[in-house]
Amino acid sequence: MRFFSIYDLIISKTHDKNITINEMLSFFSARKISKATLISLQQTSFLPDKPAFKNAVIDFLGMNELEIELAMGHIPAEYRESYYENISHIAALLQKSTGDNVLKDLEPLFETDLGKLYKGDCIEIMKGLPNSCMDLIFADPPFNLGKTYDFGINDNMTMSKYINWTYEWLDQCIRILKPGGRIFIYNLPKWGTYIATYLGEQLTFWDWIAVDMKFNLPIQNRLYPAHYALVSFIKGVKAQTYHNQRMPLQTCRHCGGEIKDYGGYKAKMNPLGVNVSDVWSDIYPVRHKNSKNRKYNELSVKLLDRIISMSTNEGDIVFDPFGGSGTTFAVAQMLNRRWIGCELGDCDVIVKRLKNPARDKKQLDKVREESGCLFTQKVEELRKKNGFWICSDYEEN
């Protein structure tokens, strides 16, 4: 396992040496290093700068600095030339037979005319899928925030374990994605940086979309968190499908005035709406009990409608390894896309939702009513009332 945290490496060595946590803490305490200082290394992937602290870590691990750097997945600058000169020898040492990918017999828990839902671990289920079979992959994994989900879902891993697990399921996603297909990963920016770096080694970067958070809590000594990361990559050089998405111009809900001043370009604006940018401020969380399908977090129909509509055509295959409440499957079904997905936790909520699509269809209809125009009817009436321009003011006579 590659380590992404010095603290995780220390804990691993503690287990390897059959040393208790208290004995480990005592070791560092004798070196005048407190527990709080050690815990601060949970987010640190490099050796401490202070010589006494660095030497204490080295002594406890029983590793030299180069060994520690390699365990963290780093090649120090002074060794890189030697590393590249000996690539063939290193490859020979690492080479091992992995065998062919053996497809497993998968039995879906539930099927519709367009899709299949599997219950179980997504990595094991993906191992049963053939290479290059998905047009679009969307993933909204647990964020590792220590939240309580259904039995079997671990949302409280060490940093190293979480990232290694993420890379493991990403490897399978890359394998099953078709050339020209696109993958979207929805997560916190912190994890998005690791995901983007890893995907960038094997796929082509398409975009980093900032999805505006609507309910935020300040974090001490940090900038106010205000967005989720929606990272997107393409398998190959060019996406096989892209449908431009438009949205109404963003306006003040009180007066109807536009948030952004378009100055002298008003007459040139497309009456079907403005092009969607890489900052999505119009996606609202699903919180009302009349809209939610489960007690945990749930993604909106609007978010998945935009992603699926933008990236696929009717009949294409959409895959979601973390089914959650089933939003991806419900939207894919309504948009006449084929879909495959899995969920480790409770699948009953997904099955119930797919069997009773009326509420989702109502939400999708509302999304569509509020798109394809520069101003919705409600906003246009508000703008007229308050003396703001509307599209008809610039129509040619």
pLDDT digits (tens, 9 = 90+) for 262-303: 766 777 888 899 999 999 988 987 755 555 554 557 899 999
The reported pLDDT for the residue numbered 191 is: 97
**Residue 13 buriedness (CB in 10 A; 0-12 / 13-18 / 19+):** middle
The DSSP H or E segment spanning 66 is helix 65-71
Strand partners, 34: none
CA separation, residue 83 to residues 79, 170, 201 (Å): 6, 27, 18
Q: Which residue's structure tokens are 């409440």? A: 325
The tens digit of pLDDT for each residue in 111-142 reads 999 999 999 999 999 999 999 999 999 999 99
DSSP secondary structure letter of residue 130:
P
CATH superfamily entry for domain 110-241+278-356: Vaccinia Virus protein VP39 (3.40.50.150)
Across the chain, which distance is largest between two alpha carbons, in Å?
86
The tens digit of pLDDT for each residue in 10-22 reads 999 999 999 999 9
341 in Cβ contact with 118 (< 8 Å): yes
Q: Is the pLDDT of residue 102 over 60?
A: no
Q: Which tokens hold the place of 373?
A: 């125009």
Least confident of 36-50, 106-120, 213-227, 322-336: 213-227
Closest CA to 251 of 269, 236, 233: 269
Domain ranges of the chain: 6-94, 110-241+278-356
Round to whole Å and give the CA distance between 227 and 285.
12
